[in-house]
Structure 1
Amino acid sequence: MSALRISDEPQEFPSITVAAVQMEPRVGCKAENLEASLHLIAEAASAGAQIVVLPELVSSGYVFSSREEAFELAESVPAGLSTQAWIDAARQHNIYIIGGVAERVGHKLYNCAVMVGPEGYVGTYRKLHLWGDEHLYFEVGDLGLPVFHTPFGRLAMIICYDGWFPEVYRLLAMQGADIVCMPTNWVPMPGQGNGAMIMANTLAMANAHVNGLNIICANRVGTERGQRFVGNSIIVGADGWPLAAPGSPDLQQILYADINLKASRQSRHLTTFNTVLRDRRTDIYDPMLGTGWQLPRY
């Protein structure tokens, strides 16, 4: 397993270490996928990671042949095998883990991300924006965009195609999120030039910059039932620049970065006069995009 890590130079303020796990789950191989995820979680924790992000649908695989197969591979949250195993790992290593699960709720299925920590189950996010054949298997998310308060700051979760919607990042920033954890299964985009940065990385960098958010993107690799996945996991700082450069397009690896929450919040001040969230023209447009949510107290 290769690893990518940023410089260990001392920083002005204490920081936390985060990890994006880039791996190759296999559809239908739940036991093997879970075992592989636990091995990589342990590796990341031993390297000092305090927050570990796994790919989208890492427990089940992604390319289902039918809704029946998706339903069979899904599990309840938090009572399901994967979530319970991650809870045990989070307690053992004293870390937070975010991973993608096909969630079964009665006869409904959701593409979800679950967050667990040393205290146990923290919360669930259900993907709001479905991609491609996901419409055949999953309901659209119905839990909104929750932000969870942890000892490592305010953490939020989104999944893959959610990252194409700037409203998602802005609403999380307006709720005070510090770190957005993104399990993802990025695929090639039309028009992608050889050697060019993938579109998903560009979007993550742009949205991190304009919202002052740290973003941890954990993508998968490999080809599953003819569908190729592009790797290139990335960890982006709140100023929009990569903290861990894009990962390999085809190798399993773990990316590490140190995130300084105090410096991240300060980075929202672009100049003496300019702070993106403060400079919004709320006399022209709704500051919460019509959701009616209340702003947090900082």
Structure 2
Amino acid sequence: MARIVNAAAAQMGPIAKSETRKDTVRRLVEMMREAKARGSDLVVFTEMALTTFFPRWLIEDEAELDSYYETEMPGPQTQPLFDEAKKLGIGFYLGYAELAHEDGRKRRFNTSILVDRSGNIVGKYRKVHLPGHAEPQPGRTHQHLEKRYFEPGNFGFKVWRAFGGVMGMCICNDRRWPETYRVMGLQGVEMVMLGYNTPYDHTGHKDIDSLTQFHNHLSMQAGAYQNATWVIGTAKCGVEEGSNMCAQSAIIAPSGEIIAQAVSLEDEVITARCDLDLGQRYRQTIFNFAKHREPEAYRLIVERKGAEPPPEA
């Protein structure tokens, strides 16, 4: 019997700086209802889905900076999202900025959670691969200060058994790094959920930035295919506070094929019937890690690091 997860990606249009949590949660609830009406078991929201992408600005006032972070989840302003999920019987992935007090100090993370159909948090992830800068860069209309406002995640890449399969999470820039998918792939991941807020000018080099849409899909499709997993990538898009954001949210099969894609620059729900057993075929054939992967070869390469290079042919 096939293991089906009816999944949705809930792409978000811009969130204005003036938009309140209540306004934003209302938008998320509406998309959750649409996803459920279309038969979805799980809806994937985007990275930092509760606020505008504040790392585009230098914020020196501590109280202002703190206002963008969640200190508890759920909290009073996000509880309606959990209540609606429980009422509808639908799970969700949600990205947000997290402020935690751990190890005797204030810590900031770019975080996502996985919530089951009963409204309970079953998994939590903190973004590992932080892009951008710690200090403002001259000549940029919009900054990219994730390294200033977050520290790298300390949970690693875990997987969780939920929705009848093995689920994984990552966030935005994580999608570009093959080890993100491979670490989860080695744990048998069957569906990877990720949200992203990607501006078109994120590198500052026009030749690279002009390929933003291509690289977005390339990295997710490669990760899906090479690790025999479904990937659901959900964007924050449109022109947000003057910054152009990448769209094209997508649901990608273990074959690497895009089977559903958003077409707008606004709030938009896309859905797909995801057969988790499809990944099994790839894990039993092309990407049978036990039979075909050679970790010993990687060890030898590491051990030889620093040795004299081979003579040129």
**TM-score (normalizing by structure 1):** 0.84
Of stretches 76-85 and 209-218 in structure 1, the one that deviates more from structure 2 is 76-85
Deviation at 1:230, TM superposition (A): 1.4
User: For 2:253, which of 220, 232, 237 is the aligned residue?
Assistant: 237
User: For 1:57, which of 48, 72, 82 is the aligned residue?
Assistant: 48
| Residue matched to 2:148 | 136
User: In 1, Cα distance between the equivalents of 2:86 and 2:125?
Assistant: 21
Which runs of 5 or more structure 1 residues have no equivalent in the other structure? 1-11, 290-298
- Whichever residue aligns with residue 22 of structure 2, its letter is A
- Give the secondary structure class of the aligned counterpart of 1:37: helix
User: In 1, Cα distance between the equivalents of 2:12 and 2:126?
Assistant: 21
- Whichever residue aligns with residue 66 of structure 2, its letter is F
What pairs with 1:119-268 in structure 2 (closer than 5 Å)? 119=118, 120-132=120-132, 133-188=145-200, 190-191=206-207, 198-244=214-260, 246-248=261-263, 250-268=265-283
User: In 1, Cα distance between the equivalents of 2:182 and 2:211?
Assistant: 30
Give a deviation string over 1:245-296, Cα, whole Å, max 9, x none: x3225233111111111222223344xxx4342311122125xx9xxxxxxx
**TM-score (normalizing by structure 2):** 0.80
- Whichever residue aligns with residue 122 of structure 1, its letter is V
Deviation at 1:218, TM superposition (A): 0.5
Computing the radius of gyration over CA atoms, which structure comes out larger, 1 or 2?
2
Identity of aligned residues (%): 25
Moved over 6 A (4+): 193-196
Of stretches 116-125 and 79-88 in structure 1, the one that deviates more from structure 2 is 79-88
CA RMSD of aligned residues (A): 2.3
User: In 1, Cα distance between the equivalents of 2:267 and 2:73?
Assistant: 27
Change (3 A) 1:216 1:82: farther
Give a deviation string over 1:14-42, Cα, whole Å, max 9, x none: 52210001112333522211111111111
Which runs of 5 or more structure 2 residues have no equivalent in the other structure? 133-144, 303-313
User: For 1:45, which of 22, 29, 36 is the aligned residue?
Assistant: 36
What pairs with 1:10-89 in structure 2 (closer than 5 Å)? 13-24=2-13, 25-29=15-19, 30-64=21-55, 65=57, 66=59, 68=62, 69-81=64-76, 83-89=78-84
CA contact (8 A) 1:219 1:231 kept: yes
